[in-house]
Amino acid sequence: MTGRAILLMIGKRLVALVVLVAILSFLVFSLVHIAPGTAVDAYLGGKPATPELVQLLTERYHLDEPFFTQYWLWLKDALVFDFGESTLTTLPVTDEIGIRLGPSAFLAVYAYVLTMILGVVPGIIAALRQRKLLDRGLVAGAVVALSTPPFVMGILLLYLFAVLVPIFPAAGRGEGFFDQLWHLTLPALALALCVAAFLLRHTRASMINVLDQDYIMFARARGLSWGHVLVRYAFRNALIPVVTVSGALLAFFFAGAVFVEATFSLGGIGELLVQSAQTSDMPMIQALAILIAVLIVLSNLLADLAYVAIDPRIRFEGRSA
Amino acid sequence: MTVARRRSLALTTVALLGAAAVAACSGGGAGGSAGSGATHQVPQVAGPGESVTDTEIPQLDVGLSGAVNTLDPTLRSDSGIYVQPLGMEALLRIGPDGELQPWLASEWEQVSDTVYEYTLREGVTFWDGTELTSEDVKYSWEYLAAPESRRANFYSSVQSIDAPDERTVRVTLKQPDASWQYTPAMFYAIVFQKEHAEQNAATFGQPGTLAIGTGPWKFDSLNPTSGMELSAYEDYWGGEPPVERVSVTFFADDNSMALALRAGEIDIAPLVNGPEGFDAAAGGGTVTTVPTCGTALLSLPTQTAPWDDVHVRRAVAYAINREDVVAATQGRASGPLDLLISPILMRPLGSDDEVQAALDEVERYPYDPEAAAAELARSGSPDGFSATIPAYPGAEAATQVIAAQLAELGIDLRIDPVGDTEWFGAVSGPPDQRPLTFSETGACSPDPSWNDIWLGSANLAQGSTNVANWAPADVDQLLAAGLATQDPAERLGIYTNLLHRLSEDVPYVPLYAEGTTYASTTYDIAGYGSFWYSTPWVLNVVPRTDGAS
């Protein structure tokens, strides 16, 4: 694939992203609008308030305006990247997301790296030791990890390594690189193990499939070293379906870690998303939905670029034209 | 926390594990009292500004369930109300028997029916060394009373707040309001520095700006996603506090906070939402629950068929077995209660005997299935009926018990689990659509008028909480009369009459006295009760002498 073709592909994806965000923001806005309970109800929290306060808040959040006016008022600020203030905490949405972005990104990348290491490496080993004891053990372990939801894994890890053998902290996210690494090891493991188990089975199957191919046998027959065949022929080809899966993983870890975030009190993006949905916090929901959409599109773009790097024969022009 | 301490804790944890597992599997516990911690006595508070203990504590690690977004007391700040009073103080304090005690104000006086004067204590300084003046109090209270303030409803009877001289604050009310006397002792009347708040009007209370107060602990930093740090103010008017640093960690839920307590990462959790679950996760023997003046209740929509029939409502009141509802609260309740106005709130209105005699006259609805059936037979729906009851997250268990009990009567309730926001919207929305629902009162104020929030025509407005839609004219008059006089005997008569009216019409079925719970294995909170967070409560934290270790 030429450099120009790649740039064209990236350009098309970015245009698609803008369209997607526009549609998404309207859909999310509509859904929150029809959900029962308003931002004022959430802010007042069922505690008595003066009628003046109710009136003031209703006007401040334009809840007395027609639906399309409300959406337009949000949109015209959002177009200049002003996402407003959280209706629940009254802090600017960008500040609220900003302080959670770093730790959530750290956790997502950490869990992603762990998933790759714990999924791909044992997956290849299991494939190479097919039907041996090690393979059986790894696959059995994967079944257990796969059937354990991250929040259960989280509580188990918390109990084992923060309470019984207190080598990791029970809560919080730490400051600075190494402190964060220490704080986020258990959460990242809790997130990673389940997905890594899935990836292990995926990698194993893909690798076994490739190892059965004729070109592997011919490569061996031509006298190429086993290591060379494994890395250049088997591994590269087996990796393509793995990359497909991993593309969506980063965004999933970023926004879908809510149970793990709650278990370890990390104060991350996932928790914020759930809280804002529960409290009809429209500015926050909108900003987060857009952020997550952008992340999903970008991580898929990265995965597609990784295909090209792994296998230059892969073309995208035909597909996206 | 040292490594050795952690090790010993870990060993204790191992030892407790078996016991905890047994307790967790035994299914709720028959006793109803949450954990063994409830057996010891909560110690008494010390004098104004004084710490209960003189033991030096270099750092107190505090766990809070829920975050603090801002220190601005006029905004919604979730757990903010528990940390704000560590640095920003009130003028008075509620004593152990509900009486008023001095705090930032050394003296106070009711000059007339509508005028109150407070004399500020000498030598109280803010953290930057400037002196507390009546201008700061005036500014703080006007800020709290402003229309956009979340606390404005507590100031609705205030006409003006004046500062005639540096040490005097004068409050003039629009009309007599007996509940005002307690307001200066509450967390919604805390004082901060005017100059700092004015200079930082746009960001006051936010993480970068914080607030400046006179309290024993200074706000050093706040991160809404993780926690906050406070340090002792050496020149505190009550003497340098013995706890040098207070480090607060925010937890997403009780469970992770319990494990952190168990791991020794926090010393104390001043407020626990689900005591039994917390105690099981924390290893047992950690929680102490005391009663508050809040009353949990079942509200009956008095203007909506078939609930508009008083016989239906009385039948429901007879059909509820409060003991079972209490058991379903997992330790949140401190005991059954069959009066809407907590006896704790009636206490200041007379001697114990006088109050008891008055309350004894009020007709109650004890659990009586036969009486319930008889009342239903007299109603317009003698064969029972079906209805829907929304339950907010956390209310499901109590709602299920209520539904099961009413099913025996022939009333078939369909439980509709709803989110918090939807529930808030329903109970304070259009009065004729307010639902049949279970509710806890939560924080209460010390005056018997506290439960007025559930009653009367004023609370039918949007955002107000007359959930039962019950506003007879004579009740409106009783509510007004109760606030118009400060004569205890007269007020005892009025609130007893109100209780009579509540018994007669049954807009609400009182269920239990709400409790409040703290958890620790090493500390206690002296004077812990309904108003624990209206004073700098860390002054009341005292190492436990019989503590487990």
> Quick one: residue B132, left, alpha or beta (phi over 0 = left, psi -120 to 50 = alpha)?
beta
Interface membership of B84 toward A (CB under 8 Å): no
Give residue limits of the domains in chain A: 3-79, 93-278
> Least CB-CB distance to B156: which of A50, A165, A166?
A50
For B251, phi then psi, to 5°, come to -115, 150
Q: Are A190 and B290 in contact (CB under 8 A)?
A: no
Q: Which of B490, B473, B482 is nearest to B452 (CA)?
A: B482
Alpha-carbon distance of B356 to B395, in angstroms, equals: 31
Please give the pLDDT value at position B4: 37
Q: How far is B212 from chain A (nearest CA, A)?
A: 19
pLDDT by residue (tens digit) across A127-169? 999 889 999 999 999 999 999 888 889 989 988 998 888 899 8
Chain A environment of B249 (Cβ under 8 Å): 171-172, 265
User: Across residues A4-28, what is the average pLDDT?
Assistant: 90
- For residues A288 and A277, the answer to whether their CB atoms sit within 8 Å is no
Structure tokens that stand for B326 in this block: 């209490």
Which of B6, B225, B299 is the best substitution to test chain A (most A C-beta atoms within 10 A)? B225
Q: What is the 3-state secondary structure (H, E, C) of A236-259?
A: HHHHHHHHHHHHHHHHHHHHCCHH
Q: Is B301 helix (H, G, I), strand (E, B) or coil?
A: coil
For residue A298, what pLDDT is reported? 87
Give, in degrees to the nearest 5, the angle at Cα A237 between A233 and A238.
115
Residues of B in contact with A57 (CB under 8 A): 148
Question: How big is the A-B interface in CB pairs under 8 Å?
Answer: 178
Q: What is the mean pLDDT of residues A268-295?
A: 89
pLDDT digits (tens, 9 = 90+) for A65-116: 999 999 999 999 988 889 998 988 888 999 899 989 888 899 999 999 999 9
pTM: 0.87
Given a contact cutoff of 8 angstroms between Cβ atoms, the answer to whether B269 and B64 are in contact is: yes
Give the chain A residue whose CA is nearest to the CA of B225. A267
Contacts of A44 in chain B (CB under 8 A): 76, 150, 424, 428, 463
Residues of chain A numbered 84-123 and touching chain B (CB < 8 Å): 88-91, 96, 99-100, 103
d(CA A182, nearest CA chain B) in Å:
15
Q: What is the pLDDT of residue A1?
A: 63
Nearest to B256 among A89, A99, A265 (CB): A265
* Closest chain B residue to the Cα of A166, Cα to Cα: B263
Distance CA B189, CA B182 (A): 10
Distance linking the first and last C-alpha atoms of chain A: 15
Which residues on B lie below 8 Å from A89 (Cβ)? 69-70, 75-77, 224
Buried b (16+ CB within 10 A) or exposed e, A110-130: bbbebbbebbbebbbbbbbee
Answer whether B506's CB lies under 8 Å from B293's CB.
no
Is the CB of residue B48 less than 8 Å from the CB of residue A203?
no
Phi, psi for B161 (deg, rounded to 5):
-120, 120
At A316 the pLDDT is 61
Q: Which residues are B221's β-sheet partners?
A: B229
Alpha-carbon gap, residue B129 to B474, rounded angstroms: 53
**Residue ranges, chain B, pLDDT below 50:** 1-39, 547-549
Q: Tell me which residue of A313, A184, A176, A308 sits closest to A257, measured CA to CA.
A: A184
With a cut of 0.90, is the ipTM above it? Answer: no
CB B292 within 8 A of CB B529: yes
Residue with tokens 């004084």, as numbered in its chain = B50
User: What is the chain B residue with the closest CA to A103?
Assistant: B225
**DSSP H stretches of helix in B294-440:** 310-319, 322-328, 343-346, 352-361, 369-378, 396-409, 420-427
Measured CA angle at A101 (ends A97, A107), to 5 deg: 145
Nearest Cβ partner of A44 from B77, B424, B442? B424
Residue with tokens 């409050």: B171
Q: Looking at CA atoms only, how far is residue A291 from chain B in angstroms?
A: 19
Phi/psi at B471 (5° precision): -145, 60
Query: Which residue among A166, A265, A268 sits closest to B251, beta carbon to beta carbon?
Result: A265
Q: Minimal Cα–Cα distance from A281 to chain B, Å? A: 10
Q: What are the chain A neighbours of B77 within 8 Å (beta carbons)?
A: 89
Class of domain A93-278: mainly alpha
CB contact under 8 A, B256 and A163: no
Nearest CB partner across the interface for A170, out of B14, B149, B263: B263
Tell me whether residues A262 and B461 touch, CB distance under 8 A: no
Q: Between vectors from CA B519 to CA B64 and to CA A152, what angle results, nearest 5°?
A: 70
Looking at residue B546, its pLDDT comes to 61
Residue A144 confidence (pLDDT): 93
pLDDT for position B435: 96
Chain A residues with CB inside 8 Å of B258's CB?
Answer: none
Q: Cβ contact (<8 Å) for B76 and A162?
A: no
What pLDDT does residue A32 have? 87
Half-sphere exposure of B530 (CA within 13 A, CB side): 27
**Chain B residue with minimal CA distance to A173?**
B226
Question: What integer pLDDT is reported at residue A315 of this predicted model?
Answer: 66
Identify which of A45, A166, A172 has the shortest CB distance to residue B226.
A172
Amino acid B277: pLDDT: 93
